[in-house]
Structure 1
Amino acid sequence: MIDQVIEILKGTGWFFLNPLFYAILIFTGIHAVTRVKRERSDFFVRVYDVLDDYARGIFPGLVVGLIFSVLSVFAGLFLPFGVIAVMSLFYILLGLTLRKNFLNPVFAGALTYVSAAYLPPIETGVQLIDTWIAGLQGAPLGMIALLVAMFLVMEGVLLISVGAEHTSPILLRGKRGKGIGAHVVSRIWLVPMFVLVPGTTIATTSWFPFLQIGETGVGLALVPFAIGFHHAVSQSLPGPIVKAFGVRIFWLGLILLAGSIALIYFDLPVFGIAVVGFAVVVRTVLILYYRKLEVERAPYFSALNEGIRVLGIIPGSPASKMNVSIGERITRVNGITMERVEDFYMALQSNAAYCKLQVLDFNGEVRFVQRSLYENEHHELGLLFAQPEKAKRKRAIG
């Protein structure tokens, strides 16, 4: 038992030695600061602080990563250390594009697969690098394809379960130049995952005798992976769109997972390129398909004939403590009918100590929400709306 714990601790230590871990933290911080600046530009207030991106990206990814680590280890997923090093390098290069959809194991895995399959023999004279290159060139291609398929399943799980949480409101200009609102679903999930490493690069284990790779034992290594996702939803509330996308990604991952296992079982590693290529193409097509829907369909957060629609709610504000949800309509405030966003602010000023809202819910039913207001509270309740005159950006979806 003590030996097993020591092996796990040794493998975990590699997690903090991998520069990809720190790169993921830096990329997350850059995107978080950019989001806060955009929210302040649109609404003169941030909706979520920078730490929210870390909390929403680390904890769900940690849970999913550990669950799939157990499955991958006992299934016998193993990768030479050269594959881990090269894939980490591709991750960092893709992250430098500052496009979250590129910071994804589908792209990093596909580039690693191509490198492992087609990289010619190279000798640098540096022992460590030459060892990595040798490990990459002798890598089990089917295992790389299996890893890509497994991460597609994980991405689907994350999108379905937590993908629509804490989305960021944004002001855009529609096709006709009119101001509309949207929600940006944008996340970098840090997914730590244990993989088996053949040979003595990490540490040879004796407690997985059924996972011996030829004559060589295996060791454990905890590897930092990242799953990036970005999409702006304007046609509806973000929840249904994100879950629909997640379901498609999940089933794509399951299909490719079954295909990868079959390729490994029947010893057909060369066909792994079909798995990773199909993963890249289909995921890209899905992203483009949903972008196309956003452009073609009528915007959800736009001017209405009756009332104004709630685009966002600032956490900790009076509105967050009232029975109002994103997407509902406010038709009257303090007895004043709402036709424009400006009417809302004028109605609030009519009674600085008290506020009564008439809300039209998703079922078309009317209800009343009321609350006393205090001097130290947000003067606009903390409700955010799509304001046409403030829309600065083109309708850049995704």
Structure 2
Amino acid sequence: MEILSKTLHIVLEIIVSLLTQPFYYIFLLAVLLHYRRQGLLERRLFNIRVHIYAGRVLRTVGAGLLVGALASLVMTGVGIHTQPQLVWIIGGLIVILSLFRLRLAHLIDALALLSLVYMILWFVPDGQFTGWLRPIVDAIRDTDWMGLFALAVLLHVAEAVLFRLQAPGLSSPVAIEGKRGKPVGAYTLDAFWPIPVWLLVPAVGGWMLPWQPLHHSDVWSAGVTLAVLPVMIGTSVLTQSELPQVKARIISKQLWQSSLVLIVLAVAAYWWQPLALLGIWIGVIWREYIVHASRRQEAEQMPMYTHSLRGLRILAVIPGSPADELGIKSAETMYKANGIQVHSPQSLHKALRMNPAFCKLEVLNRDGESKFLQRAIYAGEHHQLGMIFVPEDDAVVTKEAHRLHAFHLLRKPAVSKGIARSPMTVSAPAVEEIEHTAPTPAVVDSNFINRRSRTRKGSSKQSGYKPSGDVIESNEVNTPVSLTKGRTTSNIHADPAPNVDISVPVVETDSAPSVSTPASAADGTTGLPKRSRKTDHR
């Protein structure tokens, strides 16, 4: 009974210590606001919320509690000598760092900032601080760097595992501005975990340990008590060239590599404690290198979530939607619906309306192979079957994906309008859009020529050429014309000059249609080639 009573007393003390720690509530609120902001951003970008942020919060908080319990058990064997003032200092530093970047709200970054304060205090005399500052300064000067570094290494290993397992499920689709200024699809992998760590703090009159921790074994004989150290771990990366699963695996592997180096330094710091300070800064620099190397890699590679010439490229699939039940994945391509090839969300909707109760789909997987799917359609289901396609050229984009900080959590996500599609762009998916401007000596409407040629038989026969099918409209010489590959149009719509006969046949050869004529070969009065200006003797 006595053992059971002590166990219940310890468990009750663990729960009470967590409920009375304000920084843990601050970190919980930050996670809740972050995933709420993700839902708002998805609505503004795609007019629908892809994920339910309440479920994400529960998974994040549950994983953080589990990691905190495991890290606390390991630290009871390692041992850490800290003071309550230091717990508040570390929590405050994490909050301050989150004001600059959310990914800086990390235990190892807070320890790096604390080490700077620690080194500055070495050059300040002891008598300079009095009052309430005195216990804070003493707590910083008596910091157990070896114990805190060991805790940071444990959480660094936990971050590598959690990022591999949970980051793909916590990712969110976004539309960003690509290198050419047009919207492209991407995924943000913003994964943060609030972790409460219960530490054994030496205290006179506390309960006695049946074992002796490795570190500072001489201070545990007087008794110990529990102190909760709430911390944050996690990182934020963006990918537009990889699947979220692939990106999470790459980042997790790099975190594992840095963890191995930090573990070696932590073991060496047990014999020589200054190595703990060096290991903290190595961990910070390595984490920053991982983030910046990921950005450089994304800038060098081709985007994956862009328009496809064979159909509609899928950016994301809403969980629990018909598309999710059919096994459709992101980065696949919707090719046909009910036997009709689709190239836009409007054409997909029109094809699905041909049979409102049933759909037959042909989807191209990531390797370009076809897979055929069919399913009944029920009332109230998503009009696109739960698929979110890559953004159009006039879609709204976000510019805050790389620079999230705590103030972003307190306001609505900002979006901006993308570059609108040009009205002269060819809509056929297989035609490459090329636009430029060139001067032309004389530009004539060939349809108008065809009508005049029917009344004046012989004009085209004398020239030996047949009229061109391209539409070329203008009424004056040296008019700039907007060209598109495969067709030529003009922006000039002025009325023709009175009493001017411009019925001249248009020259077209077997090669690509020519629009402009060199000035050296043109006649000065009409601007047309001399060989094509025939006289109608009739």
- Which deviates further from its counterpart, 230-239 or 383-392? 383-392
Query: What's the secondary structure of 1:199's corresponding residue?
Result: strand
Q: C-alpha separation between the residues in 1 aligned to 2:249 and 2:331?
A: 17
Percentage of pairs with the same residue? 25
Partner residue in 2 for 1:230: 236
Which deviations, in whole Å up to 9, do the C-alpha atoms of 1:288-316 show, x marking residues without a partner?
Answer: 00011111110111011222222111223
Q: Which residue of 1 aligns with 2:366?
A: 362
Q: 1:245 maps to what in 2? A: 251
Distance in 2 (alpha carbons) for counterparts of 1:71 and 1:178: 50
**1:287 counterpart residue number:** 291
* Structure 1: gaps (5+ residues): none
Secondary structure, aligned partner of 1:240: helix
Contact 2:81 2:147 in 1 (8 A): yes
Q: Would you say 1:197 and 2:162 are equivalent positions?
A: no
1:80 to 2:67 alignment: no
- Residues 90-126 of structure 1, C-alpha deviation per residue, up to 9 Å, x if partnerless? 11212334x3211111211212233344434464424
Which residue in the other structure is 1:108 paired with? 110
Counterpart in 2 of 1:206? 208
Find the aligned partners of 1:231 and 1:208 in 2 and give their Cα distance: 45
Measured at CA, do residues 182 and 57 of structure 1 come closer, stay the same or move farther in structure 2, by a change above 3 Å?
Answer: same
> Per-residue deviation at 1:321?
2.0
User: Quick check: 1:100–1:187 contact (8 Å CA) kept in 2?
Assistant: no
8 Å Cα contact 1:153-1:251 kept in structure 2:
no
| Distance across 2 between alignment mates of 1:175 and 1:291 | 13
Report the alpha carbon displacement of residue 387 of structure 1 after superposing the two structures with TM. 1.7
Q: Give the secondary-structure state (helix, strand or coil) at the position aligned to 2:104.
A: coil
1:294-349 Cα deviation digits (max 9, x unpaired): 11110111011222222111223222222212222221111111333443233223
Aligned to 2:448: none
Of the three residues 44, 65, 68, the one matched with 2:68 is 65
**2: CA distance, partners of 1:70 / 1:324:** 43
**Normalised by the size of structure 1, how large is the TM-score?**
0.91
Task: Answer whether contact 2:360 2:373 (CA < 8 A) is retained.
Answer: yes
Q: CA 1:395–1:173 in 2, change beyond 3 Å: closer, same or farther?
A: farther
Q: How does 1:21-100 map to 2 (within 5 A)?
A: 21-97=24-100, 99-100=101-102
Instruction: Give the C-alpha shift of residue 17 in structure 1.
Output: 1.9
Map Cα deviations across residues 345-396 of structure 1 (whole Å, 9 max, x no partner): 3322333222211012234332111111122222221110112221423595
Alpha-carbon distance between aligned partners in 2 of 1:377 and 1:37, rounded to the nearest angstrom: 21
Structure 1 position 376 matched with structure 2 position 390: no
State the match for 2:330 in structure 1.
326
1:19 CA drift (Å): 1.6
Quick one: which amino acid aligns to residue 327 of structure 2? N
Which whole-Å CA distance do the structure 1 matches of 2:211 and 2:377 have between them? 68
Residues 1:336 and 1:213: Cα distance change in structure 2 (over 3 Å) = farther
CA distance in 1, matches of 2:230, 2:33: 18
Match status 1:263 vs 2:269: yes
Mapped to 2, the partners of 1:48 and 1:261 lie a distance apart of 42
Question: For 1:151-230, what aligned pairs fall within 5 Å after superposition?
Answer: 151-200=155-204, 204-211=206-213, 212-214=217-219, 216-230=222-236
Shift of 1:168: 0.8
Shift of 1:137: 1.6
2:151 is matched with which residue?
147
CA gap of 1:208–1:118, structure 2 versus 1, over 3 A, is farther
Instruction: Report the secondary structure of 1:165's partner residue.
Output: helix
Q: TM-score, normalised by structure 2?
A: 0.68
1:343 to 347, 364, 371: 347
Structure with the higher helix share, 1 or 2:
1
Larger Rg: 2
Name the residue aligned to 2:6: 3
Give 1:71 shift.
1.5
Output the CA distance in 2 between the equivalents of 1:7 and 1:44. 50
Aligned position for 1:392: 397
The one-letter amino acid of 2:99's match is L
Distance change in 2, residues 1:18/1:323 (3 Å): same
Aligned-residue RMSD, C-alpha:
2.2
Query: Partner of 2:445 in structure 1?
Result: none
Q: How far apart are the structure 1 equivalents of 2:170 and 2:269?
A: 40
Deviation at 1:47, TM superposition (A): 1.0
Distance 2:154 2:288 in 1: 17
Amino acid at match of 2:349: Y
Q: Are 1:154 and 1:250, in contact at CA under 8 Å, matched by a contact in 2?
A: no
* Structure 2 residues not aligned, in runs of 5+: 404-538
Cα distance change on mapping 1:95 and 1:18 into 2, 3 Å: farther
Tell me, what secondary structure is at the counterpart of 1:343? helix
Per-residue deviation, 1:249: 0.9
Contact kept, 8 Å, 2:194 with 2:231, in 1: the verdict is yes
Cα distance, 1:141 vs structure 2: 1.7
Tell me the distance in 1 between the aligned counterparts of 2:282 and 2:291. 14
Q: 1:9 to 1:117 in 2, by over 3 A?
A: farther
Question: Which stretch has the larger CA shift, 108-117 or 328-337?
Answer: 108-117
C-alpha displacement of 1:28: 1.4
The answer to which of 145-154 and 279-288 deviates more is 145-154
Letter in 1 for 2:212: F
**Greater relative CO (CA pairs within 8 A, separation 6+):** 1
Name 1:17's counterpart in structure 2. 20
Q: Which amino acid aligns with 1:237?
A: L
Q: Are the counterparts in 1 of residues 170 and 191 from structure 2 also a CA contact under 8 Å?
A: no
